[in-house]
Amino acid sequence: MKKLVVFDLDGTLAESKAAIDKEMAGLFCDLLGVARVAIISGGAWTQFEKQVIAHLPKHSDLSRLSILPTCGTQFFTYNGDDWKQL
């Protein structure tokens, strides 16, 4: 089993600048249940909030998700209450 799965956002998880669809959100939630996941993209943090995080099921294990906006020059993790930039 892979320990970390890394995705690009635009053109991979969703169409460019579009939100992930309901099916992708469910599959992504399932993946978070079995692996750590990271998403990297050239967009800003707000793009990830709008395109991905807002569309994930409430029971998603966000502590297993890392977000790397602006081409990986920033790194965000979820601490159980909120997102924190490292």
Q: Which residue has the tokens 């099921």?
A: 57
Q: What is the pLDDT of residues 8-42, one digit of tens each?
A: 998 889 888 899 999 999 999 999 999 999 999 99
Domains and CATH numbers, the chain: 4-85 (3.40.50.1000)
- Looking at residue 49, what is its pLDDT? 95
* Mean pLDDT computed over 45-57: 96
Residue 54 near residue 18 (C-beta atoms within 8 A): no
pTM of the model: 0.91
Return the SS3 of 39: strand
